[in-house]
């Protein structure tokens, strides 16, 4: 007998793999996405160990209708609400550890139920600084991106892509992927902190030494990765952009990055692995984040997101 499979119309703007793990339309709520916070497991709910990166002040996430002083309410690309990441109005020089509150993270905590293989995340997103001053604020946005925090029976590994927009006031506009050089040690990774809980190759978004050109211990440039993204004439005009990131969790290798109508071939670029951590086998956590380059709040909006597997 012939079968007809009917999919929700909203999926027509995506290119999911065979198995859809989740489809999150933020008109239906947060769908399990939440702020990324450290582990409050010490006495009186304090942190257990010192880290050079202060993780208690990252900016909040929320559902937003994207209202601005002049534009009024944008709504989302389809509907009213999007997932909004908002930093605090603080920053530090790029070659320093990120200032407390200079980033905002959104994470969905899941576990894997499928054999290793292709994993993909897609979204429609937008980004802008707070509309709090004259001029075009594009230079206030340092970087944003998407990544997965994975753990299988042997390794924990981070697979991610980052758009470096501006570094210390200089526009860069290039894509990177997470990868850690062989010569980098755990001590290098943790900015010189002895016995830091985070090991080399974990949490690339804030660990690893950084260089003034936008490079760093935790990233490699995507070949031919320069791209001018659509950014309108003022900070209250947001444009929705398409992003698709694909990697192979079994081969520990990148496959493809699509930004708008450009497709970057990432095959041959390996994903850095670390020894597995205790109690988190099967981890499959998708994350978004944004970082500011000036003492000004910046925002990242996600209209909807699809995570899928082959």
- At 224 the pLDDT is 98
Spatial neighbors of 136 by CB under 8 A, at least 6 apart, are 231, 233, 234, 235
Please tell me the predicted confidence (pLDDT) of residue 120: 98
> 245 to each of 89, 121, 216, 265, how far by Cα in Å?
29, 5, 21, 11
d(CA 38, CA 244): 28
| Cβ proximity of 136 and 233 under 8 Å | yes
Residue 46 has a pLDDT of 81
Domain boundaries, the chain: 9-301
Other CB atoms within 10 A of residue 43 CB = 6
Q: Which CATH number fits domain 9-301: 1.10.110, 3.40.50, 3.20.20, 2.60.120?
A: 2.60.120
Structure tokens at 228: 């001018």
Exposure of 52 by Cβ count < 10 A (0-12 exposed, 13-18 middle, 19+ buried)? middle
Check residue 232 and give left, alpha or beta (phi > 0: left; psi -120 to 50: alpha): beta
* Per-residue confidence in pLDDT tens, the chain, 310 aa: 566 566 788 999 999 999 999 999 999 999 999 998 888 888 888 877 778 888 889 999 999 999 998 888 999 999 999 999 999 999 999 999 999 999 999 999 999 999 999 999 999 999 999 999 888 899 999 999 999 999 999 999 999 999 999 999 999 999 999 999 999 999 999 999 888 878 999 999 999 999 999 999 999 999 999 999 999 888 888 999 999 999 999 999 999 999 999 999 999 999 999 999 999 999 999 999 999 999 999 999 999 999 999 9
What pLDDT was estimated at residue 6?
63
Which pLDDT score, from 0 to 100, does residue 115 have?
96
Which structure tokens are listed for 301? 């909006």
Radius of gyration of the chain (CA): 19
3-class DSSP state for residue 54?
coil
Q: Closest by alpha carbon to 145, among 177, 171, 169, 101?
A: 177
Q: Using CB atoms within 10 A of its CB, is residue 22 exposed (0-12), middle (13-18) or buried (19+)?
A: middle
Helix (H) or strand (E) holding 189: helix 186-189
Residue whose structure tokens are 């995570």: 307
């Amino acid at each position: 007998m012939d079968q007809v499979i009917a999919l929700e119309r909203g999926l027509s703007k995506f290119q999911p793999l065979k198995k859809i793990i989740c489809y999150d339309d933020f008109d239906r709520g947060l769908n399990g996405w939440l702020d990324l916070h450290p582990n409050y497991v010490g006495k009186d709910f304090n942190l257990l160990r010192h880290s050079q990166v202060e993780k208690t002040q990252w900016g909040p996430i929320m559902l937003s209708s994207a209202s601005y002083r002049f534009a009024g309410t944008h709504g989302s690309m389809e509907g009213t609400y999007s997932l909004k990441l908002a930093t605090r109005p603080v920053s530090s020089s790029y070659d320093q550890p990120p200032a407390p509150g200079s980033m905002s993270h959104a994470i969905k905590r899941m576990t894997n139920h499928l054999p290793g293989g292709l994993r993909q995340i897609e979204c429609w997103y937008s980004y802008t600084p707070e509309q709090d001053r004259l001029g075009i604020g594009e230079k206030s946005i340092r970087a944003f991106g998407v990544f997965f925090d994975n753990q299988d029976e042997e390794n924990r590994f981070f697979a991610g892509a980052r758009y470096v927009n501006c570094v210390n006031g200089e526009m860069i506009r290039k894509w990177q992927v997470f990868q850690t050089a062989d010569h980098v040690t755990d001590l290098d990774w943790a900015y010189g902190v002895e016995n830091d809980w985070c090991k080399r190759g974990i949490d690339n978004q804030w660990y690893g030494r950084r260089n003034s050109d936008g490079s760093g211990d935790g990233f490699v440039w995507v070949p031919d990765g320069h791209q001018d993204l659509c950014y309108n004439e003022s900070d209250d005009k947001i444009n929705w952009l398409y992003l698709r990131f694909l990697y192979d969790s079994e081969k520990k290798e990148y496959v493809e990055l699509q930004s708008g109508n450009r497709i970057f071939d990432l095959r041959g670029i390996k994903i850095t692995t670390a020894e597995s951590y205790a109690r988190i086998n099967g981890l499959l956590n998708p994350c978004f984040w944004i970082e500011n380059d000036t003492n000004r709040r910046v925002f990242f909006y996600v209209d909807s997101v699809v995570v899928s597997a082959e």
